[in-house]
């Protein structure tokens, strides 16, 4: 895996990441750090990537279990350390999974399997952050 990050010097503290898969991601700093608030902060993208990583796992695990999953949303809330490096210290993930007749045990298992075995992003962040998870199921 590779990624190239380019600083857009004329824009303050904005950066463009070009991924090895050929995609582009913009990031910017807060105004108090020289940014112009034109894109997510780099640490916001870390949190968003973690949420997408685990949601991907949950959907895939449920589909492989032949469950009729139709939607998955993850609300992420995180706290960071007060001092540098300002790592994540707590992360809460609340999943809203929609589908037809989804067994709560299957959804719980998929979330646990993602966190304990499959999600590389949450495995890395778990080195500094305590994770909590919760979920709700919506009939669709």
Q: Which domains does the chain have, with CATH numbers?
A: 3-33 (no CATH), 42-139 (3.30.300.20)
Predicted confidence at residue 23, as pLDDT, reads: 97
Predicted confidence at residue 13, as pLDDT, reads: 97
Q: Is residue 76 within 8 Å of residue 50, measured between CB atoms?
A: yes
| C-alpha–C-alpha distance, residues 92 and 105, integer Å | 20
| C-alpha–C-alpha distance, residues 59 and 47, integer Å | 18
| C-alpha–C-alpha distance, residues 72 and 95, integer Å | 7
Query: pLDDT under 70 in the chain at which residues?
Result: none
Predicted confidence at residue 119, as pLDDT, reads: 97
Predicted confidence at residue 70, as pLDDT, reads: 98
* Listed residue (138, 50, 42) closest to 92, CA to CA: 50
**Residue % of the chain over a pLDDT of 90:** 99
| C-alpha–C-alpha distance, residues 133 and 111, integer Å | 8
State pLDDT tens for residues 6-42. Answer: 999 999 999 999 999 999 999 999 999 999 999 999 9
Predicted confidence at residue 12, as pLDDT, reads: 94
| C-alpha–C-alpha distance, residues 100 and 98, integer Å | 7
Predicted confidence at residue 55, as pLDDT, reads: 98
pTM of this structure: 0.93
């Amino acid at each position: 895996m590779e990624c190239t990050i380019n600083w857009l010097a004329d824009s303050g503290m904005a950066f463009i990441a070009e991924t090895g898969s050929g995609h582009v991601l913009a990031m910017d700093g807060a105004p108090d750090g020289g940014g112009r608030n034109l894109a997510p902060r780099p640490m916001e993208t870390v949190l968003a990537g973690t949420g997408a990583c685990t949601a991907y796992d949950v959907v895939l695990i449920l589909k492989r279990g032949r469950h009729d999953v139709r939607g998955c949303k993850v609300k992420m809330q995180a706290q960071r350390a007060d001092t540098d490096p300002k790592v994540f210290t707590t992360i809460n993930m609340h999943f809203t999974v929609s589908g037809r007749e989804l067994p709560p045990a299957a959804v719980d298992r998929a979330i646990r399997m993602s966190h304990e075995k499959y999600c590389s992003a949450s495995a890395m962040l778990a080195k500094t952050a305590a994770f909590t998870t919760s979920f709700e199921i919506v009939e669709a």
